[in-house]
């Protein structure tokens, strides 16, 4: 077990106090929360997905419309990692915090369903999820599970059983608008919270990156747990640059058990 410094332990106690005193705490989670579960993030130097691929070239709506096979070829290994991943201790800690009534909701940029697998119920998926697929021709929405194993194993593109059109995962690609209902819920949660905890997000992807600012403008406290600096570190009450799988469980343990 990695020993935490005295400074970090003091900060953990302070963050726990912020949560104890809050009435409407909200978490905003990004790809860094799921890296301990074996899912690569996007921007880490050398290991992030965009260190090897140009996002607009493989993961844009334009690419999917004109060459869906190119998107699926890029997406196939990632899909396997996501579908086989399990929640890590940070996911489980957030679920416990919600169950204890100390976390109102989780706004996530992640598409991996790990919050739900961990037991969280109030999850707002701003970038969609891999739970469903939508036909690009007749717009029928289907459960992704029956198509997943075959796609991961063979690489065959998923097609609609009704009209034969290509099925698109219900995740937000570059050049695509966020799902309106989820985005409205996320903004409402940010504006009504009295504490926002940013976890594993570099806060570089708009418009979600602007949510903590909306919270701050309405007097909320801000805690950030992320390996790399964000544009709001200077505005945060407390900042951790350690691994989320160490810090989040430690904070939640303090909140729940003192």
- Domains of the chain: which residue ranges? 1-39+87-127+177-258, 52-84+128-171
CATH classification (class only), 1-39+87-127+177-258: alpha beta
Structure tokens of 220? Answer: 């909320």
Q: How many CB atoms lie within 10 A of CB 7?
A: 8
Residue of 174, 160, 150 whose CA lies nearest to 60: 174
Q: How many CB atoms lie within 10 A of CB 145?
A: 12
CATH of domain 52-84+128-171: 3.30.1600.10
Active site residue 127: yes
Q: Is the preceding peptide bond at 102 cis, omega within 30 degrees of 0?
A: no
Residue 47 pLDDT level (bands cut at 50, 70, 90): very low
Name the catalytic one among 127, 159, 221, 227. Answer: 127
Cα distance from N-terminal residue to C-terminal residue, the chain: 20
Structure tokens of 243? Answer: 């691994």
Task: Give ∠ CA 169-134-63 in degrees, rounded to 5.
Answer: 55
Residues 230-245 pLDDT 10s: 999 999 999 999 999 9
pLDDT score recorded for residue 96: 98
pLDDT at 44 > cutoff 60:
no
């Amino acid at each position: 077990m990695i020993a935490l410094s005295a400074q970090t332990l003091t900060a953990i106690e302070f963050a726990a106090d912020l949560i104890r005193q809050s009435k409407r705490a909200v978490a905003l989670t990004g790809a860094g929360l799921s890296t301990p579960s074996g899912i690569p993030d996007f921007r880490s130097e050398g290991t992030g997905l965009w260190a090897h691929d140009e996002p607009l070239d493989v993961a844009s709506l334009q690419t999917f419309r004109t060459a869906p096979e190119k998107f699926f070829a890029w997406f196939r290994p990632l899909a396997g990692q996501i579908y086989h991943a399990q929640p890590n201790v940070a996911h489980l800690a957030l679920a416990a915090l919600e169950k204890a009534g100390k976390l109102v909701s989780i706004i996530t940029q992640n598409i991996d369903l790990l919050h739900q697998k961990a037991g969280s119920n109030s999850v707002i998926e701003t970038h969609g999820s891999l739970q469903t697929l939508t036909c690009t021709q007749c717009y029928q929405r289907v459960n992704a599970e029956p198509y997943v194993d075959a796609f991961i194993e063979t690489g065959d593109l998923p097609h609609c059983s009704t009209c034969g059109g290509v099925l698109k995962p219900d995740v937000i690609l570059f050049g695509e608008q966020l799902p309106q209902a989820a985005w409205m819920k996320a903004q409402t949660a940010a504006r009504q919270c009295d504490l926002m905890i940013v976890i594993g997000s570099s806060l570089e992807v708009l418009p979600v990156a602007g949510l903590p600012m909306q919270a701050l403008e309405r007097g909320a406290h801000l805690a950030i747990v992320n390996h790399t600096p964000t544009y709001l570190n200077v505005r945060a009450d407390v900042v951790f640059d350690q691994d989320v799988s160490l810090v989040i469980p430690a904070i939640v343990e303090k909140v729940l058990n003192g």
